[in-house]
Amino acid sequence: MQGFQGLMSLLSLALIALSGFALVDAMIRREDAYRAADKQTKPFWLIILAIGFVVIWLFPIMSFLPVIGLIATIVYIVDVRPAVRQISGGGGGGQRGGGSSSDGPYGPYNGGR
pLDDT in tens, the chain (113 residues): 788 888 888 999 999 999 999 999 999 999 989 988 888 999 999 999 999 999 999 988 888 889 999 999 999 999 999 999 998 876 554 444 555 566 666 666 666 66
| Rounded distance between C-alpha atoms, residue 111 and residue 90, angstroms | 26
Rama region for 61: left / alpha / beta (φ>0; ψ in -120 to 50; rest): alpha
pLDDT of residue 25: 95
Q: What is the pLDDT of residue 62?
A: 80
Q: What is the pLDDT of residue 51?
A: 95
The answer to whether 78 and 72 have CB atoms below 8 angstroms apart is no
